[in-house]
Amino acid sequence: MSDPEKIFKAYDIRGVVPDDLDADLVRAIGEAYVEVLDRPAAVVVGRDMRVASPKLAEAFAAGVTSRGCDVVDIGLASTDELYFASGHLDLPGAMFTASHNPPDYGGIKLCRAGAAPVGQETGLARLRSLVEQGRQGHQGADRDVVPAGKVERRDLLSAYAGHLRGLVDLSGIRRLTVAVDAGNGMAGLTVPAVFEGLPIDLVPMYFELDGTFPNHEANPIEPANLVDLQAKVREVGADIGLAFDGDADRCWVIDENARSVSPSAITALIAVRELAREPGAAVIHNLITSRAVPQIIHEHGGRPVRERVGHSFIKATMARTGAVFGGEHSAHFYFRDFWRADSGLLAALHTLAALGEQDQPLSKLLEEYDRYAASGEINSRVDDQAATMARVKAAYADRVGVTVDELDGLTVEHADWWFNLRPSNTEPVLRLNAEAADQATMERLRDEVLGLVRGTVNA
């Protein structure tokens, strides 16, 4: 029997199908979600191309309709298309995807009406409690009997594509050759729809929707998954390469020299564009983006706001501050004009617009946004996360010129460098990100911290 305790994560629901997540459990989640939402008129449901997603989405819809609530089924969709549907229709939503996880995983990303996030504090904890009560027989017998809701199928792909094109004007850009690796994920459906009619020569890679991921994992944060795209950029002389994850809510950029572009540089680039449109606005960045990001926001008259990692935190802070944009180191980009939701394709359109509005190659355009040497995210398995982090903190806390904060994991800052060490929520892993003014300093810092984490250097 599948176990709710294993599948409820910090921001979503995810697990191996059917061991952790099966149709019966998902139906129960659908029933409980209606109660968490105080019985809305309808819930929008979308799904990715994974083998298990159709049956899981159908089971969820059955649970929702059994409680008298209607379902608007938008079928195959990217996660940001589901967010569009939620905002456009002003309805809560459920997206069936496990994003970049291996093929045997399934999952659900939930949102309230207007694409508002659902995390532990905003519904997931209560949802889990209701599901567990129901499976233990503590509810159900005395529930009121209601007429079943109905399922309405709607195709919103064209409306979604038109909405994105309406947010970023590419009509006047020079013609660009754009190589896109969809990783057999949902970008294979959404990219052609969004790029239709634009001055773009599209070079598609792995656009066939295939939840077995026959070519490579749809996880662009891993360098090995970018190799094919980098080769294609060289082969065709593309102006830019774009790689999407499985549910297409993240976008990774490759320049014309086939070099990977830091998401921090893209965050800074889009921030500058949004601040030109709305001077003085707040821009959110998570605490792992490059130090260049808040510097550039300041330089362009904006108000940088630092936040912890995670979409529910970013979206909540955007709502509180009225921020026009937000970016994360993981290539999630959030837009106030897109219901504060993240959209990989909207970030791609901004990048294409910036590139096509001038004559320089992408590498030259991004030079001012890429100021420091960064390690990228490095994972280390540890037996005791808390003890290991305490050991690292002790090693740095008393050093001259060093400040320490624990907003999200452990962040240690110096005038010439900084690093963040964060525990994984789902496995015994610590994630290190380090940055410094130059490559040599970064490498020394990276190696010293890793030595402390892995026990090869004494505190």
For this structure, is 262 an active site residue? no
The burial of 145, by beta-carbon neighbours within 10 Å (0-12 exposed, 13-18 middle, 19 or more buried), is given as exposed
Instruction: Report the pLDDT value the prediction gives residue 144, as an integer from 0 to 100.
Output: 73
Alpha-carbon distance of 12 to 28, in angstroms, equals 16
Q: Could you say which of 3.30.310.50, 3.40.50.2000, 3.40.50.970, 2.40.270.10 is the CATH number of the domain covering 373-454?
A: 3.30.310.50
> Across residues 402-422, what is the average pLDDT?
96
Instruction: Report the pLDDT value the prediction gives residue 311, as an integer from 0 to 100.
Output: 85
Alpha-carbon distance of 436 to 432, in angstroms, equals 14
Taking only the tens place, the pLDDT of each residue in 171-186 is: 999 999 999 999 999 9
CATH of domain 4-154: 3.40.120.10
CATH 3.40.120.10 range(s) for the chain read 4-154, 158-168+176-259, 263-366
Lowest mean pLDDT among 143-152, 213-222, 297-306: 143-152
Percent of the chain with pLDDT over 70: 97
| Structural element, H or E, at residue 60 | helix 53-66
The second-level CATH assignment, the architecture, of 263-366 is: 3-Layer(aba) Sandwich (3.40)
Alpha-carbon distance of 358 to 46, in angstroms, equals 38
CATH 3.30.310.50 range(s) for the chain read 373-454
Strand spans (E) along 310-396: 325-327, 333-335, 341-342, 373-374, 378-381
By the 8 A CB rule, do 355 and 239 touch? yes
Structure tokens at 4: 């709710």
pLDDT at residue 70 is higher than 90: yes
For residue 133, CA distances in Å to 129, 139, 141 come to 6, 6, 12
Instruction: Report the pLDDT value the prediction gives residue 459, as an integer from 0 to 100.
Output: 55
By the 8 A CB rule, do 97 and 47 touch? yes
Taking only the tens place, the pLDDT of each residue in 191-221 is: 999 999 999 999 999 999 999 999 999 999 9
Q: Could you say which of 3.40.50.300, 3.40.50.10540, 2.60.40.10, 3.40.120.10 is the CATH number of the domain covering 158-168+176-259?
A: 3.40.120.10
Taking only the tens place, the pLDDT of each residue in 77-99 is: 999 999 999 999 999 999 999 99
146 pLDDT tier (thresholds 50, 70, 90): confident
pLDDT at residue 141 is higher than 90: no
> Which listed residue (2, 53, 78, 99) is catalytic?
99
For residue 383, CA distances in Å to 387, 388, 425, 456 come to 9, 8, 14, 15
What are the backbone angles phi and psi of residue 421, rounded to the nearest 5°? -125, 115
Q: Is 308 helix (H, G, I), strand (E, B) or coil?
A: coil
Whole-number mean pLDDT of the chain? 94
